[in-house]
């Protein structure tokens, strides 16, 4: 199965972050066309809807629909917040976009802001992303100097200020409303919804929140047309998606495939199969919050609905492959430790549930567990799943349920009784 390169097509050019090099390969062509032809903003939004571009940060919400939720007649300023936090364990595809082709994302930001009448965009970047921050800031400065961003862009009368805001490395701030609180200088606690950010977002104003990869796809939609972009993928999931593949495969890395490609093909054809010829034991298909799949379950299309039907999630596209040598209880303990550490503490179920699941998993690994501990963890997970302010509780609960149900025997094998 060949790769289909759109947003990753310039990854192999080391000079792509430089404005002149990026422009020579087509950067900002669609942005210039939007301004010179004065394409109606509503037409751009409709093209994105037609393209069936889904949010690539994990939730998969249609981008064009989200743009359409923003009230046109708002008296308050409107904002765009780019989610470049990327804190999901196993995910590293947005970092590659930031480092390898920042102007592609900036062009997508500019087009999205024009479509929604936004004049200030924030790039909320993970606190550890020192090198991506340097590269993107240089790209912004170069674009402003060239008149592609900033005041009166290309003499069109349209202004756009793009600001990088560095977080402090909190996983919870990848959740869009926690991101907004952090951006405003508050504790990174998720907000109750409704109201939704499209109406009451940053600074109590209408706000669009999109992922790095989502916005990077926008220039390609305008270049190809929404219908052509959609046909690359599936009926409901247009275009392509980046997959960050790690673990026991021969060729780990970031790969771009058409939506609807097979998870099995990604592992065995694109990534060269299981490293060292060993047997596959388990696959996490969409970042650590996605329920694990067993080897017999991986012949499934990589699209949002199909993955949900298989009892898991496409999520962020972070595929973690584990071979027969892996201890599932140990992997589970490491995952539980992460969620216990990253829970913001706002919800009792999540704060206490994540901590106790982690402690019990440690107890089992130490050989001091008992069969009832498994049922206790499942009960804790049930109390978290869908019952917290944000999805972090479910992000712990769903993999807990899947690991314990699918590999219960391995957990019981570590118990004395």
Average pLDDT score, the chain: 95
DSSP code at position 412: H
Q: Which domains does the chain have, with CATH numbers?
A: 19-232 (3.40.50.11540), 240-323 (3.10.20.600), 328-412 (1.20.1440.230)
Alpha-carbon distance 344 to 186, whole Å? 13
Percent share of the chain, pLDDT over 70: 99
The mean pLDDT value for 294-300 works out to 95
Res 417: pLDDT: 59
Alpha-carbon distance 413 to 417, whole Å? 9
The mean pLDDT value for 253-264 works out to 94
SS3 264: helix
Percent share of the chain, pLDDT over 90: 92
8 Å CB contact between 343 and 366:
no
**Beta pairing partners, 162:** 121
Alpha-carbon distance 376 to 268, whole Å? 37
Res 58: pLDDT: 77
Look up the pTM and report it. 0.95
pLDDT at 1 over 60: no
Alpha-carbon distance 394 to 337, whole Å? 15
pLDDT at 93 over 60: yes
pLDDT tens for residues 366-417?
999 999 999 999 999 999 998 999 999 999 999 999 999 999 999 999 887 5
Q: How confident is the model at residue 214 (pLDDT cuts 50, 70, 90)?
A: very high
pLDDT at 332 over 90: yes
**Beta pairing partners, 1:** none
**Beta pairing partners, 166:** 125
Structure tokens at 200: 């009451």
The mean pLDDT value for 99-115 works out to 98
CB burial readout 321-337, b (16+ within 10 A) else e: bbbeebebbebbbebbb
Alpha-carbon distance 95 to 117, whole Å? 27
């Amino acid at each position: 199965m060949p790769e289909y390169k759109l947003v990753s097509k310039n990854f192999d050019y080391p000079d792509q972050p430089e404005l002149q090099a990026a422009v020579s390969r087509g950067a900002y062509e669609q942005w210039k066309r939007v301004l010179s032809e004065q394409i109606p903003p509503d037409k751009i939004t409709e093209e994105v809807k037609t393209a069936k571009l889904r949010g690539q940060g994990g939730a998969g919400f249609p981008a064009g629909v989200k743009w359409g939720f923003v009230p046109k007649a708002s008296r308050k300023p409107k904002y765009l917040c780019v989610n470049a936090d990327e804190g999901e364990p196993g995910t590293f595809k947005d970092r590659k976009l930031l480092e390898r082709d920042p102007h592609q994302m900036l062009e997508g930001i500019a087009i999205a802001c024009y479509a929604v009448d936004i004049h200030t965009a924030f790039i909320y970047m993970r606190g550890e992303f020192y090198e991506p921050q340097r590269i993107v800031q240089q790209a912004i400065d170069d674009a402003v100097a060239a008149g592609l961003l900033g005041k009166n862009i290309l003499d069109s009368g349209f202004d756009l200020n793009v600001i990088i805001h560095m977080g402090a490395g909190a996983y919870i701030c990848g959740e869009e409303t926690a991101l907004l609180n952090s951006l405003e200088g508050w504790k990174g606690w998720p907000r109750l919804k409704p109201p939704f950010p499209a109406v009451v977002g940053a600074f109590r104003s209408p706000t669009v929140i999109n992922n790095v990869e989502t916005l990077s796809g926008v220039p390609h939609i305008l270049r190809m047309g929404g219908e052509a972009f959609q046909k690359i993928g599936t009926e409901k999931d247009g275009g392509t998606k980046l997959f960050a593949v790690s673990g026991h495969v021969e060729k780990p890395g970031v790969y771009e495939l058409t939506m609807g490609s097979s998870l099995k093909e990604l592992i065995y054809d694109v990534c060269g199969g299981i490293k060292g010829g060993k047997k596959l034991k388990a696959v996490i298909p969409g970042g650590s919050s996605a329920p694990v799949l067993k080897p017999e379950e991986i012949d499934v299309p990589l699209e949002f609905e199909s993955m949900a039907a298989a009892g898991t999630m496409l999520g962020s596209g972070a595929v973690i492959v584990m071979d027969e040598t892996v201890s599932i209880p140990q992997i589970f303990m490491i995952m539980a430790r992460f969620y216990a550490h990253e829970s913001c503490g706002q919800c009792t179920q999540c704060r206490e549930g994540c901590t106790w699941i982690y402690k019990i998993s440690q107890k089992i690994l130490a050989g001091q567990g008992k069969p009832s501990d498994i049922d206790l963890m499942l009960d804790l997970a049930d109390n978290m799943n869908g019952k917290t302010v944000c999805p972090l509780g479910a992000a712990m609960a769903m993999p807990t349920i899947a690991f314990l149900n699918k590999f219960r025997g391995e957990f019981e094998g570590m118990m004395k009784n």
